[in-house]
Amino acid sequence: MKQLFFFMLIAGLIWACGETSTEKTNGTENTTAQTEVKEGPDGEKIYKQYCITCHGLYGDMGASGAFNLTTSALSLDERVLVITNGRNVMTPFKDLLSEEKIKAVAEYTLKLKK
């Protein structure tokens, strides 16, 4: 239970600090949301923001019982379901991330497979 609380605390802090970023390009400001509409969400960036705490940078850290993503045999659709609804001690992200962002993260995790 302490691990789940710790994970939720860290995830909340990361979420609170990361959602309001803006970037300056050629003297004009573009918010992250505007950039994502044009290019789609960056799965790697979102992974690093929310998932790295338990899964690690390369998906093989396994903190708090996190599954090793480098050996996962889950399909893209199965990964989307796990990220959306959670599994075991993993928190669901359906209230934190849009469907597009969840799919982008799931696609990125496929790249972590060895």
pTM for the structure as a whole: 0.66
Find tokens 């605390």 and name the residue: 9
pLDDT digits (tens, 9 = 90+) for 54-104: 999 999 998 888 999 999 999 999 999 999 999 999 999 999 999 999 999
Domain-wise residue ranges, the chain: 2-110
d(CA 72, CA 92): 18
Tell me which H or E stretch contains 23: strand 22-25
We find that the CATH architecture of domain 2-110 is Orthogonal Bundle (1.10)
> Which pLDDT score, from 0 to 100, does residue 21 have?
47
